[in-house]
Amino acid sequence: MTSKTYEYDVAMSCSGCSGAVERVLKKWQTTHPELKYDVSLETQKVQVTTDLTYDEVFEKINKVKPISAGREVGGA
């Protein structure tokens, strides 16, 4: 399966919020080692590169913090 990169606009108001998203993604890496991510509190964006689907990643992040928008930004 080909890796894709997704970007999500996530409501994060503090480092605790961004930390919660990072913890969930870091834990997910234990079962999906190909998963790479970048969480930016400053831009309120989370970028994820993975073999998983857009919806799988959306659901995982949205359980922790609300996502206002998302998009596929590239394939590897």
> Does residue 61 or residue 2 have the better pLDDT?
61
pLDDT surpassing 90 at residue 2: no
Considering only residues 74 and 30, tell me which one the structure prediction assigns the higher pLDDT: 30
* pLDDT > 60? residue 3: yes
Whole-angstrom distance, CA of residue 46 vs CA of residue 37: 7
Please give the DSSP secondary-structure letter assigned to residue 1.
Answer: -
Q: Tell me what pLDDT residue 9 has.
A: 98
Which residue segment(s) compose the domain that 70 sits in? Answer: 4-75
Q: For residues 72 and 4, what is the distance between their CA atoms, to the nearest angstrom?
A: 7
User: How many independent structural domains does the chain possess?
Assistant: 1
CATH number of the domain residue 70 falls in: 3.30.70.100
Report pLDDT digits (tens) over 30-70.
999 999 999 999 999 999 999 999 999 999 999 999 999 99
